[in-house]
Amino acid sequence: MKKIFVVVFVLSIFSCTESDIIDDFDIAMAEHLRVRIASSRMYDGTNTPKYWVRSDTSFVWNTLVQKIDGFQYEEGYEYLIDVYKLGNQYKLASVVSKTRKESVVPLLGCNDFGEHSTSLFLPDGLMIDSMYVFQNDMLLTEKQYDKLNSWRTRSLITYNDPNCGYWQNRNVYYIFAPDFQYVTLAQQAIQEWSNKTLLNFVNSTGQGDYIEFQNLDMAGVLGLSNLGRVGGRQTIQIGSGATKGTIMHEIGHALGLYHEHMRNDRDNYVTILWDNIPESMHSQFLIPNYSQDSGQFDFASIMLYSSWQGAMDATHPSMKTIDGYTFGAQRTYISDGDSAGIASIPVYGPPIYKLIQTVENVQENVWGNVEEGEWDCRYTIKCYSDRYKTILMTLTTSKVVNLKIHHIVWDENQQRMVETVTTQQVTLAAGSNTYDIGTVHNIENYYMGNPTSYDVTIYEIE
């Protein structure tokens, strides 16, 4: 599903109706599109086909209601097709590929009556364990909660704030409480995030900053999580009835993700049906001034609530897509949009740096009890897009890399090795994937196994 090549792609293809189709089709005048058709197809009350389509420039699936002339669709397959578009008419040019698969598509429907939940809805500001409940399943620190009412607020978490930030160096530390009942589900959820991101989930010693997974004994509440890294011990609390998807959702909050329907561009995709939301819960649907959008809006996001979240009347939703569809809360997988959103956060995403050492001009001499060695070591930084450091990545913007330099010498007066450590910042230019730090000359000489001179420089990436 990664290779989707678009020759010409315009959003207007999603805004027409089947009645707009014209009879005459001049291929010479038509636009040539290459689009991906997802494995499921919906029908509305008039039995009009609605295909899921997307381009390679977006992680958002959209509906195409027009018939594609000459296209014979088979359920359970994903197609990559070339089509001609003239006005509002579509004609199949060729099928590039047809793959048997269950595509990752949003869970939309046409029925107002859906997955109304008996879950308990918690009011914003409720105090639990000295934290403030927010949007039903997030726990905010006092500092974060105070920011909610500040017009200066840009984000409740930042890159460098030691108390309300993102996890550093892509390492997320965690432990399980001794009586935690959902270890297997939590391990599966952690593996899902690990598979779809560059994050490393590391078993903690219970020191420093870490997440503790705990049981939640509150009827009707499936999960609660702190937002981002809050400093010291923080919790993800999981209650009865939770699934792997519930835990994946709560981990998303601990990484610093808000709910999808709170994005600044939400109104371009979702209509909030205020009349079916209790006034006490309106704050959970307002577009805030504290969030920073990552990636693109995604109806398949693990962080999106369903159309019935907080609805007073179970026969009507609280949210719909702007074209009138209801949507479910996807809790099965980390979507491509979720992983792209994480990757767009600078401290979580690529590049991953690798320091390459190349040894040159080695000279070794041994005379009786004397051993002499000299060599040059060239240090180079390479940028990769994958955790295994196999795919070189060309930078789109300049990046600053912090280096630590260890200089170790033999001090004849003290008869011991002396190490000094300094730091250095280097800037990798946009358009590059490699940075040459330079070459250092190293010396180590011994007499009868004891050092007589030693001067070695070692670089490492902080």
Distance, in Å, from the CA atom of 131 to the CA atom of 235, rounded to the nearest integer, reads: 11
Give the residue among 38, 242, 281, 248 at the shortest CA–CA distance from 136: 281
Distant-in-sequence contacts of 409-416, Cβ < 8 A, 24+ apart:
409/454, 409/455, 409/456, 410/451, 410/452, 410/453, 410/454, 410/455
The pLDDT value recorded for residue 16 is: 35
> Is 233's pLDDT higher than 90?
yes
pLDDT of 300-319, one tens digit each?
A: 889 999 888 888 887 889 99
Task: Please report the pLDDT score of residue 129 as a whole number.
Answer: 82
* 13 or 147: which leads in pLDDT: 147
pLDDT tier at 288, thresholds 50, 70, 90: confident
Predicted local distance difference test score (pLDDT) of residue 447? 94
Q: Out of 11-15, 194-198, 243-247, which region has the weakest mean confidence (pLDDT)?
A: 11-15
Q: Which of 31, 115, 192, 250 is catalytic?
A: 250
Lowest mean pLDDT segment, chosen from 195-199, 234-238, 337-341: 337-341
Per-residue pLDDT band at 13 (split at 50, 70, 90): very low
Per-residue confidence at 15, pLDDT binned at 50, 70, 90?
very low
**Separation between Cα atoms, residue 65 and residue 106, nearest integer Å:** 16
Looking at the chain, the number of H-run helices and the number of E-run strands are 4, 24
* CA dist 51 → 65, 315, 328, 411 (Å): 6, 27, 18, 75
**Beta strands 68-69 and 89-100: pairing type?**
parallel
Which among 61, 299, 338, 59 is positioned nearest to 189, based on CA atoms?
338
> Per this entry, what is the length of the chain?
462
Closest by CA to 37, choosing from 15, 68, 16, is: 68
Q: In angstroms, how far is the first alpha carbon of the chain from the final one?
A: 36
Peptide bond into 351 cis (omega under 30): yes
Strands (E), 17-154: 31-43, 49-54, 62-64, 68-69, 77-86, 89-100, 108-109, 127-128, 131-134, 138-140
Distances (CA, A) of 109 to 98, 307, 309, 417: 25, 10, 15, 71
Residue 134: φ, ψ to 5°: -145, 130
pLDDT, the chain, mean = 83
Residue 250 catalytic? yes
The Cα–Cα gap between 209 and 254 comes to 12
pLDDT band at 22; cut points 50, 70, 90: very low
Of 28-42, 140-154, 192-206, 287-301, the range with the lowest mean pLDDT is 140-154
Q: Averaged over 2-10, what is the pLDDT? A: 28
Between 440 and 142, name the one with better pLDDT: 440
Residue pLDDT, tens place only, 155-193: 566 665 555 689 998 999 999 999 999 999 999 999 999
Q: Rounded distance, CA 142 to CA 156, Å?
A: 11
Residue 53's nearest CA partner among 45, 44, 42 is 42
Residue 12 has pLDDT above 50, yes or no: no
Q: Mean pLDDT over residues 241-248, rounded?
A: 94
pLDDT in tens, 88-112: 788 899 999 888 876 666 666 655 5
Q: Determine what percent of the chain is predicted with pLDDT higher than 70.
A: 81
| CA 386 to chain CA mean position, Å | 14
Task: Give one DSSP letter per residue of 126-187, joined into a string.
Answer: -EETTEEEETTTEEE-HHHHHHTT-TT-S-SSBSS-SSSBPPGGGEEEEEE-TT-S-HHHHH
Q: Which domains does the chain have, with CATH numbers?
A: 11-105 (no CATH), 127-343 (3.40.390.10), 352-461 (no CATH)
Does the pTM exceed 0.85?
no
Tens digit of pLDDT for each residue in 249-284?
999 999 998 889 988 899 998 999 999 999 888 888
pLDDT band, residue 24 (cuts 50/70/90): low
* Distance of alpha carbon 431 from alpha carbon 402, whole angstroms: 19
